[in-house]
């Protein structure tokens, strides 16, 4: 009988399902240990927000004046010692900040210019469009050589737009690039509802904030001794320049609108006014009442430069009510 030929034994292969499972396991383990940039970015953003939201609501109002009686449509009062919000009205509503923008311009100038006695020449381009926009001006002229310190006081006291642009161009090369720095700083401070388009506060649809964000900014800026010195000054005189041999003296727009800085139990120490048609009358102010220090930011009051200054009226009402507590 003939023998059947022997079949060669096939080498056993792992089942296809097992191979697929092995590939899945490798993929999962590899993904687990890959860096997660998006998650890291969210974590950084979260940490930043937590670090800045130092403003904490008070359990009960410490102010006797009713927010409904304020002329301003948005307002926030903060006690600096513990960052407690003592009063708020529409504090997270979108507003146009007008010249309150210049608080950011000033603190960035202080932090980015190592020598504030450095001379800066204001070019013709610095003034481009400012007169046509009816911007507030310091009084400097094209080709005038002034110190960064003079420009800083020009930003905060008379609210000079050419001073803002001059500093912005010196720091970043252009106002547009300076606005990028402004937005970076706002993000770092946790001003999550703020976007800047310029250094002056001239109206732009995409240039907005909230009074709560501005309170965060002012609270931060007041920790800087030089900013506090400028913010609380009522007047400043420049030394002689190539265009003004006798120098220029300018005055705080807020103190000029106050008949007296005295309030019940204290004094308004400093402030920055703001106004555009879209923003209404605005004010960011700083006061001492008793042993405490407070900041008040208001926006959206009716009126204009020629009417009663309802932003000042509101500040007096709020601070005086604190002094009577």
The CB density around residue 286, as the number of other CB atoms within 10 Å, is 22
Residue 245 tokens read as 């041999």
Residue 57 burial (10 A CB sphere; 0-12, 13-18, 19+):
exposed
Rg (CA), the chain: 29
Which of 72, 91, 159, 252 does the annotation list as catalytic? 159
* Residue (of 226, 213, 205, 196) closest to 297 by Cα position: 213
The yes-or-no answer on residue 8 being catalytic is no
The yes-or-no answer on residue 119 being catalytic is no
Euclidean distance between the first and final Cα of the chain, in Å?
121
Residue 218 burial (10 A CB sphere; 0-12, 13-18, 19+):
buried
Which of 102, 163, 185, 321 does the annotation list as catalytic? 102
Report strand pairing: 56-57 vs 84-89: parallel
Which of 99, 219, 252, 321 does the annotation list as catalytic? 99
The yes-or-no answer on residue 159 being catalytic is yes
Question: Is 302 flagged in the annotation as binding?
Answer: no
Q: For residues 198 and 174, is the Cβ–Cβ distance under 8 A?
A: no
Known binding-site positions for substrate: 272
> Annotated catalytic sites, by residue?
99, 102, 159
Known binding-site positions: 272
């Amino acid at each position: 009988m003939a023998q059947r030929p022997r079949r060669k034994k096939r080498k056993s292969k792992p089942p296809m399902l097992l191979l697929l499972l092995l590939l899945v396991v490798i993929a999962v383990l590899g993904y687990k240990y890959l860096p997660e940039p998006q998650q890291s970015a969210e974590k950084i953003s979260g940490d930043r927000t937590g670090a800045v939201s130092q403003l904490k609501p008070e359990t009960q109002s410490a102010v006797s004046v009713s927010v409904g009686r304020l002329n301003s449509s948005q307002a926030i009062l903060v006690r600096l010692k513990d960052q407690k919000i003592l009063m708020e009205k529409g504090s997270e509503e979108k507003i146009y900040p007008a010249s309150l923008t210049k608080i950011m311009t000033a603190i960035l100038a202080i932090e980015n210019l190592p020598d504030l006695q450095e001379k800066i020449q204001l070019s013709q381009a610095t003034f481009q469009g400012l007169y046509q926009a009816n911007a507030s001006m310091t009084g400097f002229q094209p080709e005038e050589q002034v110190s960064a310190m003079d420009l800083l006081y020009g930003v905060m006291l008379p609210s000079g737009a050419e001073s803002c642009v001059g500093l912005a161009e010196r720091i970043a090369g252009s106002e547009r690039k300076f606005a990028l720095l402004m937005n970076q700083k706002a993000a770092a401070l946790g001003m999550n509802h703020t976007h800047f388009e310029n250094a002056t506060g001239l109206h732009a649809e995409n240039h907005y904030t909230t009074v709560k964000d501005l309170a965060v900014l002012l609270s931060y800026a007041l920790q800087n001794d030089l900013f506090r010195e400028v913010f609380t000054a009522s007047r400043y005189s420049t030394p002689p320049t190539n265009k003004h041999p006798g120098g220029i003296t300018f005055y705080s727009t807020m103190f000029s609108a106050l008949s007296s800085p005295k309030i019940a139990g204290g004094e308004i120490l400093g402030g920055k006014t703001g106004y555009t048609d879209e923003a209404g009358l605005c004010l960011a102010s700083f006061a001492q009442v008793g042993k405490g220090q407070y900041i008040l930011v208001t926006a959206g009051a009716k009126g204009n430069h020629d009417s009663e200054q309802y932003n000042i009226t509101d500040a007096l009402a709020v601070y005086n009510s604190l002094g009577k507590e």
